[in-house]
Amino acid sequence: MNIRRMLVLVVCSAVAGGWSACLADEGLWLFNKPPLRILKERHGFDPSTAWLEHVQKSSVRFSTGGSGSLVSADGLVMTNHHVGSDNLEELSTPDRNLLKTGFYATTRDQELKCEDLELMVLMTIEDVTERVHGAAPKRTAASIAQAARRKVMSAIETEAEQRTGLDCQVVTLYHGAWYHLYSYKRYTDIRLVMAPEESIASFGGDTDNFEFPRHGLDVCFFRIYENGQPLKPEHYLQWSKQGAADGDLTLVSGHPAVTQRLNTVAHLKFLRDIEMPATLENLWRREVQAQTFAGRSEENARIISGESGGVANSRKAFTGVIAGLLDPSIIREKLKSERELRLAVERDSTHQAEWGDPWDDVAVALETYQRFFDRYSALEGRRRALRSDLFAIAKNLVRLAEELPKPSGERLREFRESELDSLYLELFSPAPIYDDLEKYRLTTGLMALAQMLGGDDPLVAKAMGGLSPSERARALVSETKLKDVEFRKTLAKGGKQAIAESNDPLIRLVADLEPETRTLRQRYEDDVESAERDAYAKIALAQFATRGQDMYPDATSTLRLSFGPIKGYVEDGKPVAPFTTIGGAFARMEERKGVDPFKLPPSWTQHKDRLDLTTPFNFVCTADIIGGNSGSPVVNKTGEVIGVVFDGNIQSLVWDIAYDDAQGRGIAVDCRAIIECLRKVYDAGALADEITKP
Amino acid sequence: MNIRRMLVLVVCSAVAGGWSACLADEGLWLFNKPPLRILKERHGFDPSTAWLEHVQKSSVRFSTGGSGSLVSADGLVMTNHHVGSDNLEELSTPDRNLLKTGFYATTRDQELKCEDLELMVLMTIEDVTERVHGAAPKRTAASIAQAARRKVMSAIETEAEQRTGLDCQVVTLYHGAWYHLYSYKRYTDIRLVMAPEESIASFGGDTDNFEFPRHGLDVCFFRIYENGQPLKPEHYLQWSKQGAADGDLTLVSGHPAVTQRLNTVAHLKFLRDIEMPATLENLWRREVQAQTFAGRSEENARIISGESGGVANSRKAFTGVIAGLLDPSIIREKLKSERELRLAVERDSTHQAEWGDPWDDVAVALETYQRFFDRYSALEGRRRALRSDLFAIAKNLVRLAEELPKPSGERLREFRESELDSLYLELFSPAPIYDDLEKYRLTTGLMALAQMLGGDDPLVAKAMGGLSPSERARALVSETKLKDVEFRKTLAKGGKQAIAESNDPLIRLVADLEPETRTLRQRYEDDVESAERDAYAKIALAQFATRGQDMYPDATSTLRLSFGPIKGYVEDGKPVAPFTTIGGAFARMEERKGVDPFKLPPSWTQHKDRLDLTTPFNFVCTADIIGGNSGSPVVNKTGEVIGVVFDGNIQSLVWDIAYDDAQGRGIAVDCRAIIECLRKVYDAGALADEITKP
């Protein structure tokens, strides 16, 4: 079992979170601390400062989560179809289902404005670690230190915004060992240019998701407008005509969301035994309930398709992570590495005195968390029970009234000054809200809340208002006025008093649940999050001290650089080639008898004759990617686009906690397939010309 | 909201579990204690003893769970397609998918023998309450009394079997207030005669399941053979030529599995907050995982289709029950009725002295249960994690070796002498076992076990054997010899020693888990089940004393008689007619654009012209039915078949805990549709002739 052994070896070195002794192409590297030595030694590549700036400023962050890149002189942005699908859904109506039919604006005035999408381009990164650390004297209690740091972070952001006019965020790296100020140019006039049909973007559906060989045209195009005109960006990526070949180095610039590679073993076990099982349970429920809703009519299926896909995707991803956590070799190797590091700290009296036992601090924080995890997670975060659009609007309005009077640095983080523009965009979005879907979400959400906390729980009783879940949901949706954007604006303007006086049933529901929810959130931030952050910052410093600084921090939804060659792998004893072809999609359809989700759209079957079936379609590479990297451009050494990342294979799902490249791979759409399809399937020659124009 | 009010009124009267003041057609009545007064007063129907005996002896119980009826002089048995689907699946191969294509044996020698199906016909019922009660002196501890009663029940069964040659079972009614001896004629040579395609049997799939209007031909036919010849039964049901009309009285004879209408409020809350949420979580997981497996190939979809359908069905049913339990009016009315009864007992010093406070006893038993519910339910019963065919075989073999040396009355109940024939039939069944499915079930099951109990739990560690879930599953399935029926027989014959010495990995896995599993089971039986039974028997006696004996016991998978007219209802302010037509199925297909599961099979679309589209297809009636009634014949006052029960509507799902007929309805296939389709769609005129022959 060579593969097995390789996995263990690699995991061993990966445990430290980017320890440089690692032989694999691991790492989610900072643009202001790029892996120059490794790139040079391992791949003979020595990117210039100009190269790095060009790629950085050609990269785009999507407010909806996900990555993208500027690919033309006229502000064209490429991303994944599944990154743009929320917008495609919002732009659809019962008579115009853009997810089903796809879309192409042959002229600029046909481009469709996306009401609540914003794109950000990272302009500068500045190290502000000293100032943030200076705000909290050493040996202050974690929660007090954290409050002091948040205050100064907010001040730094505000000062920088006033100075530069950019959107500024202080990013916490290594859980607080470092703080960097990221300044973005923010664009809000974004228009849809082209999207293929979902049936080819997500060809193979849940079955082929996270699998390879793969055949997905998971791509779509938006255009940034500024002052009513297409953006003329300073930087945008050139397109590679010839694409890349097996063994070529790829570089990926994107926004990986969250990794937990620095996690202690106790923390991994908490994920394995408490947090992930609870999250998965919630996903299983939501997946089944989304399908039930979708089954009732074609229109239901349309309006819930985005949610269904998202839930199934998360379910498959978390299942992969939990499978990794249940692999005894992974915990074993993590434990070994942790023991080495603890021993090194114990042996050094200075370190010992300064850091104490941060591993134990993490364990204590998690024991505390476990005591209120069920209630807290039922009300906030990934496992929360109530998650309808209207409920979310009500919750944001209630909290906005509470938070806005406070200084920015003392607010809940999502209400900080730097977040408000995005929040208002979402809160006042005219995106359609569907009564039936809202009723269904609230009915099932109320049932879930009761199942999580018990039917006689006082909080549940408040949520139910003396009615059955379905009666309550019906009443809430039919009586609320929150569907009216103007009503929302009035409430937001009215502040605390307007909220207190409002008799809107959803506002009242949220207000009833807020006291306990806020108490739990405070408890989480003070007793868990701050304590963890404090401890992990020390663990990171212990790593620097012991293993050197040639490493990368865990992902934080900020811009990172990954790299690695295009490379096949071996699975069940059989080689998996690194490229698929367009012809392979037709073969896969035939193999699965054209049954959904293996049914190519009519545009493909009609134009099959035109297509060069040998065109490379998707490829795999060892570049270290994770959720949030979706839509990241894959470039070659000269910075040309050779593809766009849209997925990782099933063996890469464990990368959340530990990278290995024995079998784990990122998956991208090949640049050649994009041009081939634009020209021959979608009659979008003008778009192809714009992209490939030198 | 008239409907709402009606529901409350009816529930109020239904709470007592068949309290005779109830105005609705409630009741799962015993054949030896039929509701003669109610039938006469309310429906002017006075069935003779001969009528009752005829219907009883024409009714059939399926070993796979479900009901049926003898419908010809040559031993033909009618049931639901979904009752026979396990057998259809077992009789299928990759090249012969009977679920997809349907089946019709035009000659007797084409009929397909079902390897592990047995049918039972109830011959006699005898009251043995006194003898069972006599075995346990009053005021004995519940668990000791229960052991004594089980011993005498077993003795009664053995004596009766020796005397009659029948299969005899003592049935516990009212949780132990009464004990009746049921004696069955048992048939094991059962052959498949006819089944339509699953696509029309379950037309509308999960979306239309538990809904009305409905269009399902959920019917199939088997034939009982005895000594190699078709059975010539003493009793079988005649077929109604004209069918029934709106308002006609229907009588249903079948085997409702479990109701919990006598449950105390504390028990209902335990179901609502602990048991049902845990069960539903498990079902959501299994439904998603079954779909994932099915999505991988057509063959995968075939071999898991039965499980998928069963899980989805249970999920929808439990969701309905939990929705009922979360309806505050239901708990409120249950509480009101309970308070009245408790007060009546408290006021009567004799009762008080004899019964104490059985409601409190139930609450105490449930508090005890809650303390080990998570572990116990992870290992045994409805929520158990490990549920592959091979694991079940291993578990039965290990337990058989342990139980067989004990006297029948001291064994686990599923190993009592009276159960052994069925157990062996299942254990030594040559039904196909699919490696890929087994590996998938064990992988997901091991992951679920770890999620339920924690990855570091010693029992989980034993289950994993130092491997990851998928590696462990692969090893278990590829190394076990339990797929070989002869190997199973040898192990069964070898008893304890053979089990102890076996190095079969699945036998060893079960043996490793058994000590804790058995301890928990013992604890459940002693501290929960016995205590509950004892308490509920007293509550039943309190009901008899206070409200009279004109009531029925909770369902126990034994033969019961229900009744009620064919009757439409009002939903969302609109009337729902009691009958659908065959033409309605075509209309529904058109409405849903023929997308699966709304795609009629080719046999239907090809023969549409032949069909009389006005033929009644499905109908609803108020007869009190529940899971296990599937396949029950619906007869008219003269005992002729007018239909076959296959479902209840969504409003009937709450009948598990409380009957109401404001909207709740049983759903049946109309006898006329069956004949119309046999003749015109399936060219099965000979079968139609056999059924309708006077």
Q: What is the pLDDT of residue A10?
A: 32
Residue among B269, B325, B447 whose CB faces A323 most closely: B447
Q: Which residue of A has its CA nearest to B446?
A: A326
Which of B296, B323, B447 is nearest residue A447 as measured by Cβ atoms? B323
Percent helix, strand and coil across chain A, each to the nearest 5: 55, 15, 30
Q: What pLDDT is stored for residue A64 in this prediction?
A: 85
Which chain B residues touch A275 with a CB distance below 8 Å?
none
Q: Do B206 and A295 touch (CB under 8 A)?
A: yes
Of B280, B296, B456, nearest to A207 by CB-CB distance is: B296
Cis ω before A213 (30° cut-off from 0): yes
pLDDT of residue B1 exceeding 70, the answer is no
**What is the Cα Rg of chain A in Å?**
25
Neighbours of A519 (CB within 10 A): 13
Q: What are phi and psi of B57, to 5 degrees?
A: -80, -5
Say whether pLDDT at A5 is over 80. Answer: no
Confidence of residue A4 (pLDDT cuts 50, 70, 90): very low
Does an H or E element contain B365, and which? helix B358-379
For an interface test with B, the pick among A273, A279, A322, A598 (most B C-beta atoms closer than 10 Å) comes out as A273
pLDDT value of residue B140: 83
Considering CB atoms only, which of A269, A280, A456 is closest to B456?
A269
* Predicted confidence (pLDDT) at residue B101 exceeds the cutoff of 70: yes
Q: Report how far residue B687's alpha carbon sits from residue B668's, in angstroms, rounded to the nearest whole number.
A: 20
Confidence of residue A14 (pLDDT cuts 50, 70, 90): very low
Q: Could you read off the pLDDT of B366-420 as tens digits, one per residue?
A: 999 999 999 999 999 889 999 999 999 999 999 999 999 999 989 999 999 888 9
Strand extents, DSSP E, A11-129: 29-30, 59-62, 67-70, 76-79, 103-104, 112-113, 119-127
The residue of chain B nearest to residue A295, with distances taken between CA atoms, is B207
Which residue, A558, A555, A604, A613, is CA-closest to A583?
A613
Size of interface A-B (CB pairs under 8 A): 111
CA distance A124 to A169: 11
Task: For residue B294, list chain A residues with Cβ-Cβ distance below 8 A.
Answer: none
Nearest to B284 among A269, A284, A329 (CB): A284
Considering only CB atoms, which chain B residues are within 8 Å of A454?
273
CB nearest B451 (choices: A277, A452, A469): A277
Q: CA angle A264-A265-A267, nearest 5°?
A: 65
**Model pLDDT for residues B142-154, shown as the tens digit of each residue:** 889 989 999 999 9
Backbone angles phi, psi at A571, to 5 degrees: -135, 130
Q: Read off the tokens for B319.
A: 């969701």
Helix (H, G, I), strand (E, B) or coil at A61: strand
Q: Which of B4, B97, B326 would best serve as a mutation to test chain A binding (most A beta carbons within 10 A)? A: B326
Minimal-distance CA residue of chain A relative to B289: A284
Give residues with Cβ within 8 angstroms of B494, minimum separation 6: B401
Chain B CA closest to residue A455: B273
pLDDT at B611 over 90: yes
Tell me the per-residue pLDDT of B342-351, one tens digit each, with 9 for 90 and over. Answer: 999 999 999 9
- Nearest-Cα residue of chain B relative to residue A324: B468
pLDDT at A141: 86
Say whether B456 and A273 touch across the interface (CB within 8 A).
yes
Quick one: closest CA in A to B322, which residue?
A447
Q: How many Å lie between the alpha carbon of A291 and the closest alpha carbon of chain B?
A: 9
- The reply to whether residue B285 touches residue A281, judged by beta carbons under 8 angstroms, is yes
Min CA distance, B474 vs chain A (Å)?
12
Q: Please indicate whether, in this complex, the C-beta atoms of A470 and B328 are within 8 angstroms of each other.
A: no
- AA identity, residue B510: V
> Nearest residue on chain B to A285, judged by CA atoms?
B284
**Burial profile A392-425: b = 16 or more Cβ within 10 angstroms, e = fewer:** bbbbbbbbbbbbeeeebbebbeebbbbbbebbbe
Q: Please name the member of B205, B206, B469 whose beta carbon is closest to the beta carbon of A326.
A: B469
Q: What residues form DSSP beta bridges with A571? A: A574
- Find chain B residues with C-beta within 8 A of A291's C-beta: 206
Contacts of A277 in chain B (CB under 8 A): 451-452
For A259-316, write each residue's pLDDT tens digit: 999 999 999 999 999 999 999 999 999 999 999 999 999 999 999 998 999 999 999 9
Q: What is the pLDDT of residue B427?
A: 96
| pLDDT tens profile A627-653 | 999 999 999 999 999 999 999 999 999
B675: amino acid identity, one letter: I
Give which of B319, B333, B452, B468 to mutate to test A binding, by max A Cβ within 10 Å. B468
Contact B193, B111 (CB under 8 A): yes
Q: What is the pLDDT of residues B134-190, one digit of tens each?
A: 998 877 888 899 899 999 999 999 999 999 999 999 999 998 999 999 999 999 999
Q: Which of A207, A322, A468 sits opposite B447 (nearest CB)?
A: A322
Q: How far is CA A440 from CA A18, A387, A482, in A?
A: 45, 11, 17
Q: Which residues of A touch B319 (CB under 8 A)?
A: 447
- Search chain B and give the residue with CA nearest A287: B288
- d(CA B635, nearest CA chain A) in Å: 33
Q: Please state, rounded to an integer, the average pLDDT across all residues of chain B.
A: 94
Beta-sheet pairing, A112-113 with B641-648: unpaired
Cα A211 from chain centre: 19
Alpha-carbon span B449 to B387, nearest angstrom = 11
> CA nearest A465 in B: which residue?
B328
Helices (H) and strands (E) in chain B, counts: 27, 21
Torsion of CA B483, B489, B495, B498, to 10 degrees: -50
Res. B10: pLDDT tops 70: no
Q: Which of B263, B362, B237, B372 is nearest to B321 (CA)?
A: B263
Contacts of B507 (CB under 8 A, 6+ apart): B394, B397, B398, B480, B482, B491, B499
**Cβ contacts of B272 on chain A, cutoff 8 Å:** 450, 455
| Of A175-184, A206-215, B547-556, the least confident | B547-556
- Sequence spans of domains, chain A: 19-118+188-261+553-692, 120-187, 368-546
Hey, what's the torsion of the CAs at A375, A376, A378, A381, to 10 degrees?
Answer: -170
- Segment B21-36 shows an average pLDDT of 85
Task: Indicate the pairing of strand B560-565 with strand B249-254.
Answer: antiparallel
Q: Whole-angstrom distance between the N-terminal and C-terminal Cα of chain A?
A: 48
**How many other C-beta atoms can be found within 10 angstroms of the C-beta atom of residue B149?**
24
Domain B19-118+188-261+553-692's class? mainly beta
Of A356-365, A661-670, B544-553, B572-581, least confident by mean pLDDT is: B544-553
Picking from A315, A326, A451, the nearest residue to B468 by CB comes out as: A326
Nearest to A326 among B269, B331, B455 (CB): B455
Q: Which of B277, B285, B466 shows the shortest C-beta gap to A451? A: B277
Q: Is the pLDDT score of B4 beyond 90?
A: no
Q: Is the pLDDT of residue A9 over 80?
A: no
A298: which chain B residues are within 8 Å (Cβ-Cβ)?
592-593
State the smallest CA–CA distance between residue B455 and chain A in angstroms.
Answer: 6
Looking at beta carbons, which residues of chain B come within 8 Å of A207? 292, 295-296
Q: Which residue in chain B has the smallest CA separation from A594?
A: B298
Number of CB atoms found within 10 A of residue B247's CB = 10
Residue A98 makes CB contacts below 8 A (sequence gap 6+) with A88, A89, A91, A92, A192, A195
**Considering only CB atoms, which chain B residues are within 8 Å of A322?**
447, 451
Contact between chains at B466 and A328 (C-beta distance less than 8 A): yes
Name the nearest CA neighbour of A25 among A259, A251, A258.
A251
Q: Is the ipTM of this complex over 0.90?
A: yes
Q: B interface mutation test: which of A304, A451, A470 has the most B CBs within 10 A?
A: A451
The answer, yes or no, to whether residue B12 has pLDDT greater than 60, is no
Give the per-residue pLDDT at A23. Answer: 53
Name residues whose C-beta falls within 8 Å of residue A81's C-beta, 6 or more positions apart in sequence.
A88, A195, A196, A198, A201, A202, A217, A218, A219, A220
Q: What would the mean pLDDT of A105-125 be, rounded to a whole number?
A: 96
**C-beta separation of A465 from A509 below 8 A:** yes
Tell me the chain A residues in contact with residue B467 when contact means C-beta distances shorter than 8 Å: 328
Residues of chain B positioned with their CB less than 8 A from the CB of A383: none
